[in-house]
Every structure is written in C-alpha cells, then in structure tokens.
Amino acid sequence: MLTMLRAQPQQVQTLPDVRLRSPANVAVCQKLQDGTMVLGGTIASVDGVETGGSLVRLDARGAVMADWTPAMKGIVERIGEDGGFLYVAGKGNGITAGSYGAVRRIRIADGLLDPAFSIFTL
C-alpha cells in the first residue's frame, strides 16, 4: 500500500557524501528497496553531473545514475515506492496542471514517466 502523502518523516541512517550545485534544494530523499536513493527537490547538479531538474537517483555508493533521467521539471516534495514504480508529488512544470499539485508515476527500472497516470490535488 502506498502511503507517500501521509507518511511520517523517517530518519535517514546514511546519506551519501555528495556535492550539490546551486540552485539546489533537496526536499525529500527516498532509499529504494534495491539500495539506491532518489533525491527530489530542485537540483541542478550532483558531483558535477547535470541532473536536469527535479529528481536524481544515486547508486549504493552515492554516484549519480546518469542514465536514469525522468522527463520532469518542477519541485518534487514527496516520493513513495510501490510495485516497481515511484510516485512523485510536487508542483511546477511537468508535475502540475496550472496551480494544482499532482502525483506522477515513474518506472524505477528506466526512469520513464507514465503519461497515463496522474492525480491532481488542490
């Protein structure tokens, strides 16, 4: 069961030693079942690797997984994992419609956004 929107914050046991370039605001980090980690927010680059905006996936050592590039822009505020998918909530171009927030679904294996899935919120 996905509990992303109402989940209580959890303490992160270890966070990779990474360097973020401004503008960078990490709003959420989610450790995935495979040991990788997804950072969400507004992130220009990590350790010199351009990220393209809202989400970046790090391997177990903390290195950017450069081939995982969801086509999203905006501010990611929440991330949940369920059944091979990430459910991402936030605001901004590529996440929302107008001034409404939204939840989008991304396939973890390849980072592809599911264009058929979207939940808009007030």
Q: Taking all residues of the chain, what is their mean pLDDT, rounded to a whole number?
A: 75
Q: How many CA atoms lie within 13 A of 53 on its CB side?
A: 17
% of the chain exceeding 90 in pLDDT:
14
Q: Which two tokens stand for residue 59?
A: 């391997």
**Mean predicted confidence (pLDDT) in 81-86:** 92
The answer on pLDDT for 107 being more than 90 is yes
C-alpha span between 59 and 36 (Å, rounded) = 5
Percent of the chain with pLDDT over 70: 69
**Per-residue pLDDT band at 86 (split at 50, 70, 90):** very high
pLDDT for the residue 85:
94
Is the pLDDT higher at 120 or at 95?
120
Position 113 confidence tier, pLDDT thresholds 50, 70, 90: confident
pLDDT at 47 over 90: no
More confident residue, 121 or 41: 41
Nearest residue to 6 (alpha-carbon basis) of 56, 100, 80: 80
122: amino acid identity, one letter:
L
Q: What is the dihedral of CA 51, 54, 58, 63, to 10 degrees?
A: 20
Q: Which two tokens stand for residue 102?
A: 């939204």
